[in-house]
Amino acid sequence: MSRQIVMPFGPQHPVLPEPIHLDLVLEDETVVDVIPSIGYVHRGLETLVEKRQFPEYVYIAERTCGICSFIHGMTYCQGIERVMGLEVPERAHYLRTIWSEYSRLHSHLLWLGLFADSMGFENLFMNAWKHREFVLDVMEETTGGRVIQGSCKVGGVRRDIDQETLKKMERDLKGFEKGLKEMANVFLNDDSVASRLRGVGVLSRNDAYVCGAVGPTGRGSGVPIDARMTGYAAYGELDFSPVVEQDGDCYARCAVRVNELFSSIEIIRQSIDRIPGGEIEVKVKGNPDGEYFSRSEQPRGELVHYVKGNGTKYLARSRIRTPTLTNIPPLVKMLQGCELADVPVIVLSIDPCIGCMER
């Protein structure tokens, strides 16, 4: 056996947009073990439920993540609505679905750009982010915010989208989709991309399941976990199925995200076609008394907001289980046995959102 050394990776590293530290135990160039540690950006957001009334806490929940903030706000609202027995109008459910899918497009394009950058493919990076700009413009036009939308509230949504704008969004999706197809062709068929990603960071289906992998990390290993199948918001009324790949390597996780772009576009189209008219919110009376585990599918995987009310304006507990937290054990499995030079690409392949994970 070769001599083992421990090499620190992070918290600052060119491929890490946010800080996480990994102690890599190496034998020559091979990683034999990994010890992750976090805590650099822990904000204690969950304890703020003691200081913010439950309707105000939506703003805190949204700020858990700067990439999928809308879905955090929606999932929290869903939990409170379930505890209070509120019947949210159908139109609000469809609007939530539309904004959730634009969030997914935004997040996946952001990740695809970063992933291309990590491979040194600068043109592809810029191409992905050019398409992302289109999504951010739609978010800004319809919610008023590019990053933090603030359009979800307990009982519904704050803003409506008029029919003319919805039709324009549907028309614009055609050109957007055409551009994405050209970009997807490079991610899925280019030799240099495939040679960097195929067979790297393999996570078996069994390991994915036992380690608790969610989102594209789990689906890339053939585990068809997708919280949207539970039918929250308007997903129960729409036709779609989880995008699944079988190989479990970095290429498979990348392919899941690329193909989910087109799945999201299809969901948005269906939502625009089927959105009913009517109110966008219901009046909220009283305080939550009870508990609920609210689940949704973030771009990175299943998100859980546990809320527990005690009959006052302040919740007794908010627990936010983000997908990156539960994807850390699978990451440890993927890294065991890999080459040192592959570590950055493998770490990025789970799409780590550390700020989200630390809360």
Partner 1 sequence: MKPENQELRLIDTAHLIGEVEDYRNKGHRLVNVSCTRAGEEFEISYSFELDLRFENIRIIIPLDADIPSISGIYWGAFIYENEMHDLFGVHVRGMNIDFKGNLIRTTVPYPFRNTSFKGEGPCQDR
Interacting residues with partner 1 (CB under 8 A): 35-40, 42, 44, 46-47, 50-51, 82, 88, 93, 209-212, 225, 229-234, 236, 292-293, 295, 302, 304, 306, 308, 312-314, 316-317, 319, 321, 325-326, 328-330, 358
Please, are residues 176 and 265 in contact by the beta-carbon 8 Å criterion?
yes
Our CB check for partner 1 shows the closer of 55 and 145 to be 55
- In this complex, which beta carbon is closest to partner 1, that of residue 261 or of residue 320? 320
* CA angle centred on 174, ends 172 and 180, rounded to 5°: 105
Shortest distance, position 50 Cβ to partner 1, whole Å? 4
Distance CA 61, CA 140 (A): 19
d(CA 26, CA 30): 5
Q: Shortest approach of partner 1 to residue 88 CB, angstroms? A: 7
Closest to partner 1 by CB, 65 or 173:
65
Between 93 and 196, name the residue whose CB sits nearer to partner 1.
Answer: 93
Shortest Cβ 324–partner 1 spacing (Å): 10
Alpha helix ranges (H) inside 245-318: 250-274
The nearer residue to partner 1, 94 or 251, going by C-beta atoms, is 94
Q: How far is the CB of 195 from partner 1 (least distance, A)?
A: 30
Give the closest residue to 71 by CA, choosing from 43, 107, 106, 99: 99
Report how far residue 98's alpha carbon sits from residue 233's, in angstroms, rounded to the nearest whole number: 10
* CA distance linking residue 237 with residue 273, whole number of Å: 12
- Least Cβ distance, residue 293 to partner 1 (angstroms): 6
Secondary structure letter of residue 2 according to DSSP:
P
Within its chain, how far is the Cα of 166 from the centroid? Answer: 24
When the beta carbons of 284 and 316 are compared against partner 1, the nearer one is 316
Cα–Cα distance between 102 and 18 in angstroms, integer? 23
55 preceded by a cis bond (ω within 30 of 0): no
Q: How far is the CB of 318 from partner 1 (least distance, A)?
A: 10
